[in-house]
Amino acid sequence: MSVTQSPAPAASRPAARPRIPRVPFWAQILLGLVLGVVLGFVARRYDVDWLETTLTHIGEIFIQLLKLAVAPLVFFAITISITNLRNVQNAARLATRTLLWFMATSLIAVVIGLTIGLLTDPGSSAEVTRSGDEHSSGSWLDFLTGIVPTDIVTPFAELQVLQIVFLAVVVGIAALKLGPKAAPLLSFGEAALQLLQKALWWIIRLAPLGTVGLIGNAVREYGWDLIGDYATFTADVYVGCALVLFGVYPLLLATVAKVNPVQFFKGAWPALQLAFVSRSSVGTMPLTQKVTERLGVPKEYTSFAVPFGATTKMDGCASIYPAIAAIFVAEFFHVELGIKEYLLIAFVSVIGSAATAGLTGATVMLTLTLSTLGLPLEGVGLLLAIDPILDMIRTATNVAGQAAIPVLVAAREQILDREKFATAKSFSIEDAQRETDEDADGGETRDAEGRATVPAAASPSGAS
């Protein structure tokens, strides 16, 4: 006779431990932003030395962590992305069209920047204290000769992103030509890239804390008085970036790609918010690649277009900002600019955007633009103080373009998964990291704690 065991009374069962709800990443970022502003004002108003030191170190450590991963990440990402093109049909045409759209949107952005600068005269009434931080390097000739490194170690040691890109392109093309002989090198490169991306995800998770330090330190050091001194210039940069971010990109997506721009922003939002607070296109790159894939762009093409864009597609830093800044500096020093100078600004912005590292700041591009126009390089020092405040919207604009152009090109080439695009939505950093882990593990699924799980259909007979 079989005895059936009655279930234990409900009262004797151990009570389920309530789970603490996770705070969404965007809310963590917002909290860090508010906390940074409050702590920055406290440190500035009451001259709290230990708080000042803490905010400075938190911000510096976060940026140093990003910089630590940038050099190898850029090298392996571009090298592997070039070799991955062998798996993409019409790879040469895709690469060419991607580059052409990068240049076309950069030209549109610089025209918008010039137009806003000419209409508002941002430097005509500026009365700011000139910084002693002058730059004497960065000429157009220096830019051209600086593409090719003198050795292999220096670009990585000094974070010369343009030279790292050059080395990566050469290695990637050489690996394509070698074919099977380069397989061991490519296997190592893919493993190294996965390792770097994993480490970068950890750094990204620290972004809310980094936001406290970066924003707090900026408020502590400059307060809001500085914005008043540069009010017109600051407004110009934000308006110009907003026009590109919420005007040009949506218009191109709607008319050229025939997709819903609102849906694009819904899917790309996680990368845009991280770009705004981290001020690093390269630091945001893994998340940009993830949102682009979720928007229906094939992974093989995304793995090329996004790393390439993260180091060369800089509509905020390399187009809008230097155009308005050049007009500001010219008006401040009472230098007349003519049609030739405006054409030079457009040319430098479109061709020289690769000179801007995908990190914080656009000093290299501004120096290059001013030196090409023959304007005083002291103008770079004039704008350094306001740079952290401007760099947030510039980087968000950069990243939006780095995601929008692959969507546009994929749609034009009829390789965009429109059903996937239509269902794309915002997601948490945890979800993105988990998907990356699953891709690295060959598709096996993981539970909430990140442990690998076996699908039910694959469970051994009799397993429960």
Q: What is the pLDDT of residues 164-208, one digit of tens each?
A: 778 888 888 888 888 888 888 888 888 887 788 778 778 777 878
Q: What pLDDT score was predicted for residue 464?
A: 32
Q: What pLDDT score was predicted for residue 11?
A: 52
Q: In angstroms, rounded to a whole number, what is the distance separating the alpha carbons of residues 282 and 129?
A: 33
Please give the single-letter amino acid code of residue 318.
A
In sequence order, which residues have a C-beta less than 8 Å from that of residue 81 and are 6 or more positions away?
A: 172, 303, 304, 305, 307, 308
Residue 306: Cβ within 10 Å count: 30
In sequence order, which residues have a C-beta less than 8 Å from that of residue 28 and are 6 or more positions away?
A: 207, 208
Q: In angstroms, rounded to a whole number, what is the distance separating the alpha carbons of residues 156 and 68?
A: 10
Assign 459 a pLDDT band (cuts: 50, 70, 90): very low
Query: Is the predicted pLDDT of residue 379 greater than 90, yes or no?
Result: no
Range with lowest mean pLDDT among 16-30, 36-50, 78-92, 363-377 = 16-30
User: In this prediction, what percent of the chain has a pLDDT beyond 70?
Assistant: 73
User: In this prediction, what percent of the chain has a pLDDT beyond 90?
Assistant: 22
Q: What pLDDT score was predicted for residue 210?
A: 81
Q: What pLDDT score was predicted for residue 445?
A: 41
CB burial readout 181-199, b (16+ within 10 A) else e: ebeeebeebbebbbebbee
Distances (CA, A) of 289 to 317, 323, 327: 20, 28, 35
CB burial readout 448-459, b (16+ within 10 A) else e: eeeeeeeeeeee
Task: Give the closest residue to 117 by CA, choosing from 369, 301, 302.
Answer: 369
pLDDT digits (tens, 9 = 90+) for 212-240: 887 788 778 766 655 566 788 989 999 99
Q: What pLDDT score was predicted for residue 229?
A: 63
Both tokens assigned to 340: 């030739």
Q: What values do phi and psi take at 84, rounded to 5? A: -70, -15
Query: Is the predicted pLDDT of residue 125 greater than 70, yes or no?
Result: no
Both tokens assigned to 439: 């891709």
Query: Is the predicted pLDDT of residue 119 greater than 50, yes or no?
Result: yes
Q: In angstroms, rounded to a whole number, what is the distance separating the alpha carbons of residues 267 and 250?
A: 13
Mean pLDDT value across residues 330-354: 81
Q: Which position has the higher pLDDT, 307 or 323?
A: 323
Q: What pLDDT score was predicted for residue 427?
A: 64
pLDDT digits (tens, 9 = 90+) for 344-366: 888 877 776 655 555 555 666 77
Both tokens assigned to 55: 């905010």
Q: In angstroms, rounded to a whole number, what is the distance separating the alpha carbons of residues 29 and 42?
A: 20
Q: Which position has the higher pLDDT, 89 or 79?
A: 79
Averaged pLDDT score across all residues of the chain? 77
Assign 133 a pLDDT band (cuts: 50, 70, 90): very low
Distance of CA 435 to the CA centre of its chain: 20
Assign 6 a pLDDT band (cuts: 50, 70, 90): low
Query: Is the predicted pLDDT of residue 87 greater than 60, yes or no?
Result: yes
Assign 443 a pLDDT band (cuts: 50, 70, 90): very low
Kindly report whether the global pTM for this prediction surpasses the value 0.75. Answer: no
Q: What pLDDT score was predicted for residue 309?
A: 85
